[in-house]
Structure formats: structure tokens, C-alpha cells
Amino acid sequence: MKVELHLHTSRYSGCAVNSPEEMMTGLIAAGYEAVFITEHAAVWPIEELDELRGKFPQLRIFGGVELYDGSHHLLVLGTSDASYLDICDDAPAVLEKARRASHLTVLAHPFRWEEGFEMLYEGLRPDAIEYCTCNHDRPAADRAAAVAAEMGLPLVNSGDSHGLDFLDRFWIETPEPLVAPTDVRRIVLAGDYENCRKEQ
């Protein structure tokens, strides 16, 4: 399965330029089979996700969120639980809540800004670190790889997609089917995936 782990839409992320329908159509055209919608500080209500799924049955559409605590951008994948927003300033609580619920946590673009990786040296461990993305240059990706190797954490590619032109550049592929939203955590922790990129 070709999977986008980090995607924004204009419905709930002011920095995104395309609608949910446009983004889902673009994903399908590019051969994606699953996507996690990770709006900034917003969680899609289940009924809205279900409506979107009904429009695009050929694509597995899962919820998620991108949280910001003033230093770190942390993805919580596979959730439709808005209570994460109430604890977004408390990274330890977010990580613990996500682990209990089997939601994958990913430290997003940790070297895009200098403070973005500090949690790793404060004893806090997300499940994975974002590697190559559309918003993370090559030196930043190399730093992420070095830290992931040092700390024994998985690396995952994602589009960090804010518009159609972000699609089909960086993603993961897995032979495992994503049926439940929590499947992605098991797959990433088991290393049963491949980081992929489109050569420019």
C-alpha cells in the first residue's frame, strides 16, 4: 500500500491550499491507497471523515492531528479524539495517551527549526521521526537520520502535503493492509514498510 502519513486540507488548516475533495482526488490519481489527515490543531469529527470516505471508497482515509507545544510538531496518527487538543502543550501526556490508544506518534520535521528536536534529548520518545518531506530539506533529513540511528527510532517519509503539488514526492509503502487506523503503528514499529520518494 502506498501511504501518505501527513496531509493538510483547507477545511481545517489555514496554510493548506486545496480542499479535502481535491486532495483525495489527487491522492487517488497518484496511486495512493491510504492517507492520514493531520490538520494543524484540529481533529476531523468522525461524521465528517465518514462522509469523505463515502465520496472516495477506493482510498482508506484515517484521522490524525498535528500538535504544536511551542517547540515540537508532533503527529498523532489514526485518531479522531479531539481531547488531544486539550493536552497539546504536554508532550509526555500526549505520548502516553497515544501509546495507550495504539496511535502512532511521529516527530514532524524535527530539524526544520532548531527547537524542533529538543524533546529527543529530554528523554521523550515518539514512535518515529519524520525523514524526507516536502518541508524538510536534505541536510535536515540527514540530521534526522543520524539522530534516529543514535536513538534507535524508525524514520518515515511523508509528503507533509499542503496542496496538490506536494503529492507523490515522499511516502511510505507497506505490504501490510491498513484496515484499522491503529494498524500503522504496528507496521512502523515492526519495520514492515519502505520509505519511498519520486526522483526529481
Q: Can you give the pLDDT at residue 175?
A: 98
Closest residue by Cα to residue 77 from 186, 194, 156, 181? 181
Q: Can you give the pLDDT at residue 157?
A: 98
Are the C-beta atoms of residues 107 and 5 closer than 8 Å to each other?
no
* DSSP for residue 164: G
Q: Can you give the pLDDT at residue 48?
A: 97
Q: Domain boundaries in the chain? A: 2-197
Are the C-beta atoms of residues 73 and 108 closer than 8 Å to each other?
yes
Q: Can you give the pLDDT at residue 113?
A: 76
Q: Can you give the pLDDT at residue 200?
A: 59
* DSSP for residue 87: G
Q: Can you give the pLDDT at residue 142?
A: 95
What's this model's pTM, rounded to 2 decimal places?
0.96
Low pLDDT (below 50) residues in the chain: none
Q: Please say whether the structural domain 2-197 has been given the CATH code 2.170.16.10.
A: no
Backbone angles phi, psi at 45, to 5 degrees: -60, 145
Q: Can you give the pLDDT at residue 71?
A: 87
Are the C-beta atoms of residues 36 and 25 closer than 8 Å to each other?
no
- Single-letter code of the amino acid located at 152: G
Element spanning 6, H or E:
strand 2-7
